[in-house]
Amino acid sequence: MMEDLHRVVITGLGAVTPIGNTVADYLEGLKTANNGVGAISLFDASAHACRFAAEVKDFDPTGFLEAKESKRWDRFSKFGVVAAKQAVADAGLSIEEENSSRIGVIIGSGVGGLLTMETQAHVLNEKGPGRVSPFTVPMMIPNMATGLAAIALGAKGPSSAVATACAAGSNAIGDAFRLLQLGKADVMVCGGAEASITPLGVAGFASAKALSFRNDDPTTASRPFDAERDGFVIGEGSGVLVLETLEHAKNRDATIHAEIVGYGMTCDAHHITAPTPGGVGGAEAIRLALKDGKLEPTSVDYINAHGTSTPANDSNETAAIKNALGERASQIPVSSTKSMTGHLLGGSGGIEAVACVLALQHDMVPPTINYLNPDPQCDLDYVPNMAREHRLSVVLSNSFGFGGHNVCLAFRQMP
């Protein structure tokens, strides 16, 4: 019965992002409109059409990962495990043998270990099959951030990985929410992780004309909802949350950051990359999240948009928000933190969920930076260029992925 569903709260946050490698640094980056975009340093991009990205800087997993083991892990898994350990530490959660079977992990990734795949394909071609690393498959498969996090934490409960492209992180959080509502676990560690700033990743998205090509001014390249937007900026990192049932959190006297109350999920069934014109699928995901959370459009105080900075996404998302929320849409601050972090693909839903919780905690709406030229097709309040103090009770987070996957998550302050 619906009345028997458990309430689910957020007790831990972890973040490794292009604007900060801890939650505190990430929060400061959001408040100060930090720009994480710059020239690619992870490989020689001189021959590429796009030569910039939003990289994680000064990433040092020391203290979180053993050096020997981390050499056998792809970069996306390192991000995911570090963020997961941050989140568990923030939650003050102790995982022991007696409670391990009631604690699970779901970390989504759109691509998985792309760097490993590229590197070992080169080894295969240049040196032959006998020189390919025995760790190739475990390093590149997209469930390994989940698997390694579960191993590192000792979490033996429900475990899976989601690969719904750019909706993967949000799907992972939503799926974890459902498991907790149904009583299948007491705690879930969930979010997204990605590390696709590689030669193939950048070249592939560039060939698809999905990226911005502002090589002369990369810091203004990610400009969601701006009339002169020309594509997204690829980013990397991880955002992970600890969710648990309200009863479990109360029983261990945990600090509660916020409550997750709604999860809407749809598919456009329209095109491999393009959204349905008018944002029909996205609008339905928003409506489902509101219905799931027993919320009205008038309850919504902020929307963290998918906001990729591509022409089709931003105009269709604007239409989706207006379709779902009606007259209320024009009164709600809507911003895209991808303007600062770039687009983390499957990791984006994770760090954006963290941003939503931080927004609720601090009554702060992160900005959409690089917003200079209004687009008649994008006519909402996009919180241009500066963070805004704003009383918040309910916030939504949108994530839309290639293949037509649409997700909306609803969060609210605890009464």
What pLDDT, on a 0 to 100 scale, did the predictor assign at position 41?
Answer: 98
The contacts found for 388-391 with CB under 8 angstroms, 24 or more apart, are 388/333, 388/364, 389/363, 389/364, 389/365, 390/301, 390/302, 390/333, 390/363, 390/364, 390/365, 391/301, 391/363
Provide the token pair at 58.
Answer: 């000064």
The half-sphere exposure of 302 on its side-chain side, counting CA atoms within 13 A, is: 33
What pLDDT, on a 0 to 100 scale, did the predictor assign at position 70?
Answer: 80
What pLDDT, on a 0 to 100 scale, did the predictor assign at position 415?
Answer: 78
What pLDDT, on a 0 to 100 scale, did the predictor assign at position 67?
Answer: 81
Alpha-carbon gap, residue 309 to 219, rounded angstroms: 13
What pLDDT, on a 0 to 100 scale, did the predictor assign at position 220?
Answer: 98
What pLDDT, on a 0 to 100 scale, did the predictor assign at position 354?
Answer: 98
Cβ pair 52, 221 in contact under 8 A: yes
What pLDDT, on a 0 to 100 scale, did the predictor assign at position 244?
Answer: 98
What pLDDT, on a 0 to 100 scale, did the predictor assign at position 66?
Answer: 84
Concatenating the DSSP letter of every residue in 81-106 gives HHHHHHHHHHHT----TTTGGGEEEE
The contacts found for 160-164 with CB under 8 angstroms, 24 or more apart, are 160/106, 161/106, 161/107, 161/108, 161/109, 162/106, 162/108, 162/109, 162/346, 163/108, 163/109, 163/110, 163/112, 163/346, 164/108, 164/110, 164/346, 164/401, 164/403, 164/405, 164/407
Q: What is the arithmetic mean of pLDDT over 138-159?
A: 97
Instruction: Please say if the pLDDT value at position 390 is more than 50.
Output: yes
Instruction: Please say if the pLDDT value at position 3 is more than 70.
Output: no
Provide the token pair at 339.
Answer: 């303007």
How does residue 2 score in pLDDT terms, banded at 50, 70 and 90? low
The half-sphere exposure of 176 on its side-chain side, counting CA atoms within 13 A, is: 38
C-beta neighbour count of 169 within 10 angstroms = 40
What pLDDT, on a 0 to 100 scale, did the predictor assign at position 63?
Answer: 85
What pLDDT, on a 0 to 100 scale, did the predictor assign at position 125?
Answer: 97
Give me the chain's average pLDDT, please: 97
What is the value of pTM for the model shown? 0.97
The phi, psi pair for 165, rounded to 5°, reads 55, -130
**Domains of the chain and any CATH numbers:** 7-251 (3.40.47.10), 265-412 (3.40.47.10)
pLDDT digits (tens, 9 = 90+) for 329-346: 999 999 999 999 999 999
Residue 149 Cα distances to 5, 188, 214, 295, angstroms: 27, 12, 37, 34
Q: What is the arithmetic mean of pLDDT over 169-192?
A: 98
Instruction: Please say if the pLDDT value at position 62 is more than 80.
Output: yes
* Residue of 365, 350, 390, 373 lying closest to 193 (CA atoms): 350
User: Which amino acid belongs to residue 238?
Assistant: S
22: left (phi over 0), alpha (psi -120 to 50) or beta: beta
Strands (E), 305-382: 334-335, 364-365
Angle at the Cα of 12 (from 7 to 16), degrees rounded to 5? Answer: 135
Q: Which residues neighbour 383 within 8 Å (Cβ) at sequence distance 6 or greater? A: 333, 334, 335, 365, 366, 367, 368
Instruction: Please say if the pLDDT value at position 45 is more than 50.
Output: yes
The phi, psi pair for 260, rounded to 5°, reads -100, 130
Q: Which residue has the higher pLDDT, 32 or 274?
A: 32
Instruction: Please say if the pLDDT value at position 1 is more than 70.
Output: no
**253 burial via Cβ count (<10 Å: 0-12, 13-18, 19+):** exposed
As annotated, the active-site residues are 166
Alpha-carbon gap, residue 105 to 145, rounded angstroms: 9
